[in-house]
Amino acid sequence: MTAPFRRLLAVLRRSDVLSGTGPPIPDDGGPDDDRRGPAPLTSRSTLRELGAAVPGMAEELVNRARAAGLLVGWVAVIAVPAWTVVDRIAVPHLAATFLAVRLLGDVPMLLAMWALWRLPLGRRRPEALTFLILAIVQVEIAWMIPQTQGDPYFLLGFTLAVYGSGCILVSRPGWTGAVVGVSWGALGISVLLHPGRLAAEDVVAVSVYLGTASIIGVLAHLRRYALNNRELLTRVRLEREQQRTGILLTQLERLSHEDPLTGLANRRRWDAELVSACTEARQRNTVVGVVLLDIDHFKRINDRHGHPGGDEALRQVAGLLSRRVRAGDLVARLGGDELAVLMPGADLDRAVELAERLRCEAVDLVPPGFDAGEINLSLGVASAGGAEAYPLELMSRADQQLYCAKITRNAVGAPRRDAIPLPR
C-alpha cells in the first residue's frame, strides 16, 4: 500500500478529533489559566480550554464576557443613583448623604466600564472588571444597611447584585462566589463599625435575605455554567469534525489528482490542465509545449531489479523532472513508465532545450543497485500556438515524435529534426 493511502486510512481510523490551541480568552479565575495544550475536552473544561479549541471562539467568548460586564455596569450606574427615590421614602433624613455616596461610587464603576469598552485590560480581564462593579454596589449597600436598621428595601437591593452575578456574568461560578464573599465581608465590617444599629432580629433578617440570595445565585451560576459549557463543547466538537472533514476532502482531492507512486500529477489532472492550457493559448494567441518521455528498456529494469527497483527508477526520474521544470509547468505520470511535461507559453525551442537537458541528466541517475548509465530516456516534443493549440493534435504530434525517438532510444524526437542519440 502506498504512503498517501496509508496516511488517508490513518486519518479515517482516528477516533479523536483535531486538537488545537489559540489565543488566550478571559481569565476565568481558575488555577490553570496559563496552561496551553490540547487537553481532552469534557463538560468540565474551562472557558479557556473550550475557547482555545476552535479558531475564533476565544474572541467570541471575550466579547460575550465584555457585553455581560457592560450590561451589568449600565444597570448599576443607572439603578444605584435611581434608588434615591427609595431613600426619600424609607429614610428621607439620609437621602442626601446616600445620594452623594451613590454618585461617588458611580465614578469607579464608569472607569471600569470604560476599561471594558476601550482598553486592552477589558479584553484580558472582563470578569474582574465586572466583579469590581458589583463589589462597589455591595459595599455601598452594606454601609447603608446598619444606618437604616435593616430596612427591607435595602435588604432587597443588597441581594440584586448576587442574583445578577449568578444569572448574567460570563465566567466561572467562582466569581459569583467572590461577590457573595465580598457582600458578607462588607456587611460584617459595616455592622462592626456601627455597633448597636441593628437589633438581633435585624441581623437575622439580613442573614436570611443574603443567605438565600447567596445560595440561589451560586446554584444558578453553577447550573448555567454547566449548560453553557455543554453547549460550547458540542459546538467545539462540531467545529473540529468540520475541520477533520475538510482535511479529508482536501486529502481526497489531492489523491484524486496525484499519482501515489511518484507524487506527480496523474492522468486525470494532466487532461484537465492540458485542455485549460490549450484553451488559453487559442484565446490569447500564445504557445504551449509538451514533452512526452519513456524510460528506455523499462521492462529490462523491472526484470533485473524487480518491481521495487522499477518503482525507484520512476521516482528518481520524476524527481529530476520536478527539479528542472519552470514554475507553472506541470509534470505528470500518464501511466506505466510514461511521463510528461506541460509547458504553457513555451515554444518548440524551449521544449527541445528542456528535453535535451532531461535526456543528458537522466544518465547520471544511479538508484541503489543500478549501474551507471542504466537509466536513459526517450523523449518526444511538440508545440502549438494560437488556433492550432488543441489537446488531441498536440498529444498526437508529441507521441509521434516519442515513437521516433524510441527507434534509437536515448534520444529526443522533435519536428524537423532527426531523432538520433546526441553526444553528451
Residues 401-420: tens digit of each pLDDT: 999 999 999 999 998 744 33
Higher-confidence residue of 29 and 253: namely: 253
How far apart (Å, rounded) are the C-alpha atoms in residues 161 and 176?
A: 9
**Domain 267-413: assigned CATH number:** 3.30.70.270
- pLDDT at site 119: 93
> 278 pLDDT exceeds 70?
yes
- State the average pLDDT for the chain: 85
pLDDT band at 231 (very low <50, low <70, confident <90, very high): confident
- List the chain domain ranges: 47-240, 267-413
Q: For the purposes of burial, counting CB atoms within 10 Å of the CB of 40, is it exposed (0-12), middle (13-18) or buried (19 or more)? A: exposed
Read off the pLDDT band of 237 (50, 70, 90).
confident
Count of other CB atoms within 10 angstroms of residue 239: 18
The secondary structure of 79-101, three-state, reads HHHHCHHHHHHHCHHHHHHHHHH
According to the model, what pLDDT value does residue 3 have?
54
The bridge status of strand 377-385 relative to strand 287-295 is: antiparallel
Task: Please compute the mean of the pLDDT values over residues 1-28 and round it to a whole number.
Answer: 42
- pTM for this prediction: 0.55
**Residue 73's pLDDT is what?**
94
161 neighbors 80 (Cβ within 8 angstroms): no
